[in-house]
Structure 1
Amino acid sequence: MKIWLQKLIDISALARSREMLKEALADLTRDFGFDYYAYLNVQPVGTSAFSNYPADWQERYFTNKLDKVDPIVAIAKSTMRTFVWSSENSTRRASKPIRRFYTDAADFGIRSGITIPVATAFGRVSMLTVASHKPSISLAREIDPVAAAMAVAQLHARIEQAEFNPTAESSVRMTLKQVQLLKWSAEGKSMRAMATIENMTYSNVNSHLNKARKALDAGTLPQATALATKLKLI
């Protein structure tokens, strides 16, 4: 595992393109005896992935917002430590949604794996998972959690700095009117000014902006405006 983690650091430093990194991660994952890799960047608005999981699974995962029920994400966020997991050992006392999650994932050959979470800027979390079709896995020795976190932090930095497009990501559903009002908010307009510009009542403006804020999982209108700008929705 120590050698594998060093190789992860090496390819993170050397990969100069999205395709180069994808190929290198796939090769490294196979060398480790696993089938798939999945780097997840968990954001307040949603989650994005850089992964070679089957395309149909990635589409299902993000279309149905499975990151909200994914037990691997939940464990990673709560423990912030490297851990081994398997559907075989995790479904006995699990809730129905989690059992369904493991069953669906198993249909795509995702049954066990190792997940390494790392803390990123502004209280967010990223994680790398290597997954296998095997019902369970066993390691000859324990994983050094510090070395693992350092290696995944290097991967996170490479993907962030190079701005590689994700292979899949959450989508935010908003109406055109919500987007228009957030744009006016970004321009510094008050809600009363927006009501005049858009020929709407103040209460309607407030209602649309509240729905937009909830869609973005934002606590305040300024936060919603900032998130919408970052996501290039406005």
Structure 2
Amino acid sequence: MMTWQGDQLHALHAVECEHTLFEMIVSLARDLGFDHCAYGLRMPLPLTQPKIATFSNYPVAWQRRYQEKNYLAADPTVQHGMRSLLPVIWSDNLFAPARELWEDARSFGLDVGWAQSREGLNK
């Protein structure tokens, strides 16, 4: 008998459309009690300017602010994911080096969360 997680992972691996995949991720996030989620993918090539694809159901105003302020470059959850496969829970301590980002996120009601990488930078 497969576990709930095993069933979900099996279903995710069977998806061929990126938008359908993200819809499933949103559903899983909601099952875990989260209203919003984001998924980012950094392509390995080209080496000099790798493409980054992001999918998010965060409020549009927050997505716009995140891009305008280039928060991707300072986001400690992204930095953690580049070097570790372990999940990280959002906290004041985690966001200490990026206080403006943390305060901005909280002003949009984004103050509880966790992040986990599928692969670290060296994988």
Please, what TM-score do these two structures have when normalized by structure 2? 0.72
SS at match of 2:118: strand
Q: What letter is aligned with 2:59?
A: P
Cα deviation for residue 89 of structure 1 reads 4.0
Query: Identity rate of aligned residues, in percent?
Result: 28
Shift of 1:101: 0.5
Where 1:118 maps in the other structure, the secondary structure is coil
Alignment of 1:48-127 (within 5 A): 48-78=53-83, 80-91=84-95, 94-95=96-97, 98-119=98-119
Instruction: Looking at secondary structure, tell me which structure has more helix per residue.
Output: 1
- Paired residue total: 117
The 3-state SS of whatever aligns with 2:113 is strand
Gaps of 5+ in 2: none
Q: How does 1:1-234 map to 2 (within 5 A)?
A: 3=3, 5-42=5-42, 45=49, 47-78=52-83, 80-91=84-95, 94-95=96-97, 98-119=98-119
Give the 3 Å change call, closer, same or farther, for CA 39–5 of structure 1 in structure 2.
farther
- Kindly tell me: are residues 19 and 72 of structure 1, through their superposed partners in 2, closer, same or farther at Cα, counting changes over 3 Å? closer
1:224 corresponding residue in structure 2: none
| Superposition deviation, residue 113 in structure 1 | 2.0
One-letter amino acid matched to 2:26: A
Aligned counterparts of 2:75 and 2:94: Cα–Cα separation in 1: 12
CA contact (8 A) 2:40 2:52 kept: yes
CA distance in 1, matches of 2:99, 2:122: 27
State the Cα deviation string for residues 112-135 of structure 1 (Å, max 9, x = none): 322221337xx578xxxxxxxxxx
Which structure has the higher relative contact order (CA within 8 Å, separation 6+)?
Answer: 1
Aligned-pair CA distance for 1:84: 2.7
Q: Which runs of 5+ in 1 are unaligned?
A: 126-234
CA 90–18 in structure 1, closer or farther in 2 if over 3 Å, else same: closer
- Partner Cα separation in structure 1 for residue 119 and residue 12 of structure 2: 17
Counterpart contact for 1:4–1:32, Cα < 8 Å: no
The structural deviation recorded for 1:7 is: 4.1
Q: What is aligned with 1:139?
A: none
- Return closer, same or farther for 1:7/1:52 CA change in 2, 3 Å cut-off: farther
3-state secondary structure, aligned to 1:112: coil
Q: Which runs of 4+ in 1 moved over 3 A?
A: 2-5, 16-19, 87-91
Query: TM-score, structure 1 length as denominator?
Result: 0.42
